Structure 1
């Protein structure tokens, strides 16, 4: 834009351009310095603080798990504090299904109940003999191994297991056991105890402060003790801390942050896997806010410089810009050019006078076009009434010749109602309800001639009172059905007039079960309607279409040869009323044996001429 201004000025930049260029360079330097300050002083320390909090959080989770495991250690010691448990443990291969074995199991459960109590944060406690066979359980929860022999065979690899301590045994991904030997003060081993840890308690211990993170706990053999994501795979390659450290934070291959902390008591390592977007969320928020602030300051400063620079322009610049904004639809622009220069004031007053005169000429032209449209509509409607009266009197004469006095009387009544409808303010618009009533009178006149061979139906609704249209719109289409649709069709002949209201639109459909239109007739009628639309557009100031003009206006507004009433005439009157914001269609339908259909769709918010 600035380069274009310089080129237009013949290589010489305007005062406003020079002002903007000078301050733009200074503004860019200030904004760049502010961006560097935010990145160095705010963003980097915030990222380091976030990573440190992740490392502390992993250590906190490890401490919580240590407390839970230590609780099971204290629980086991409470059970072993009863001297009776050593006398109850079998020394041989006594079956627990004997009377003695069942009594022993009951007493052992009583000892465990006294030590554990009713409140439990574990799944179950199981006691095993020296061979690792199951003796009894506290509550019989599922998942207790029937034998500890697999554990005893590989117990040598557990660093904390020497039969004086305890070991954590993972039988399956969801079963973790706290195992210790049952031995007295002399170190004699009587059996083994396995406490099944509750996964919910592990989850609670691992869930502290891990919003948006996955927690994985591995034992010393890198086997899973707990995982918060049950769908996680078995690939643990990403959970290998660099440098063999016991705690810290690092990035994996996916860019996620992994904080880890190894417990010296259990040998477990706690990992928290946090997506990069979660870790850097606060950092990105600060960065985003900073960028928005910089952009806002830049825009504000640019706007301030722009409006300040405008004060240096000459008043003639403002006058020129206002002249360029004037167009056909915006002629009422007030040109205000405050200046002490008398020549500029006189120029402004002269131009304002020119606008006023031009506006008056345009208003006169609009009024002339309006009156011409109203006169044309009146002339078109005047073509309809004599034709309707002629056809109706002809039907009455036929009934009189046949001596049907009651029929003649009834037809004269319907004709009287129709003539009153036509003569009363013939060029004023009517409601759709009135048009439907008039169509009913016309069909009643025809009913006396065709008797039971003619059937019809009309829709009625109070909402139709709000729809306006010219007089004698429906009746010409009904007459077309009578004159042409039923020449070769079997009786009864049916005419159905339906009206539907949509969102801001109304639709009128007139259909029969007659012979239907031939393709040539549909093409000719729709072609002539398009000609009238093109000629109307040319009269309203729109580009003139080929084949439209005064030379063929008679054919454009003339009759179509269907029924002698002129479908084009009727549609043109509707177009004049709705200013061409109207859709007309004629087609053949296949419902109820087939026939012809006329469809008119227009807006409920029509703009009258």
Structure 2
């Protein structure tokens, strides 16, 4: 396989392989270093994001608790709830709208300092309820809240000792039962009491916030990061999915189970293909668990891989270009030697190497080679003379190979006409036939003038007109300036005969032949046009293959294989090739009327 590869290509190939091997080794070491650095930095960035989100949530819960504590310890609020009439069947603040108005005004001063919360609710165990809110609160919703389990959990929580603040995870908003909103909320609850003595517990302050605020906090951490908020008991109270929620939910469930069992820590990779980071809130009994697929976490590494591939391509291209330039420089003397050898021909039978006269090795090769060429030139000249004589012999033989079927037909005509006494056609037929026989039997050097060639073709078509009478017509148009141009003999008459043998065979009369002789672009042209069936596609393909495969070297073998029945077009083509080498025209094609044969050669 390598024996067929050029010397320059081998040098370039082996040097490039060496460059690639060294480059790959260095790139591998550098790649390992960069991968470790990117991995460490990406993990650090992920943990920074997790810490930032956890701190934001922690601060928000702290502010909610701070607001609840300020309201619960406000003396005016404590005083109002200490004076509330204990009537379980009715809401004190509905019965006392002036007091309710003052309380709401006080609550608004807390709720609308900045953005405000969803609701700030004040209530007690006697179901006395008042609130300020940015959303709808209904009376039936309030009744449903006091009869629900969420209120019972808050009440039971504060009945325990050392219970100061209750964090309610996200849940449905039962206080709004209009059906127009399905928002969820989370809240912080404090007891209304005298905090100086930690006594006189008389109600609750609940600061509620929509769960949409959680969505806003977790939205900015990245579309591929999944997160979940867990209670200290391991219960998931909030989940935020990335762009692959369907495929990550099962993984989150596994992580929640591991976290509840205390088997999950920061940077844990016990589940392949994901990275975990958890943060415990300082001001609330919650833990936030963050999870991100490892392939997404390593996305910067994918970009680095693309840069590495681009760098390798640039190195490869640079190496190839550099190697080509170096190899060409080093092998230029050999290229010049090869070029000089290719320029050797019969007209230039000598090797010249320009620009390398100072190179002893090339000068010695040139002198030795020229000595061999000198001896070869003598042998070639002798062989060329022999080949020329042999080709002339074949040319003369080709001229003598006429289809005898034509002569048989003409003799039959003469025989029939001679039986009719007084028929003047006989003399005309015999005269033209005699001219044709004299033309074909005169060998000379195988050439004749254009005028004599056209005259011979006209004699043939006149004889055919005598035979077919009104069934055949012809016309001849010749540029008289070409009368003395010498061309190979028997170029036109065989083509005209071919029209009767093939084109007119399956065509109804009147048959027509149009002969054009003209000059163009330094060449003479002969165009024979008939109104027959035209050339078959198979024959045109076969003729095209013959032209492609025929060379000056194998023309002799092709001539020997041609039989008497197949002399027309191949015969003419090979004679033109012998006489004009490749500077001739021989085209066959069909047009809207019939077949066209175009022949041509150089005027000189």
Query: Could you state the TM-score of these two structures normalised by the residue count of structure 2?
Result: 0.49
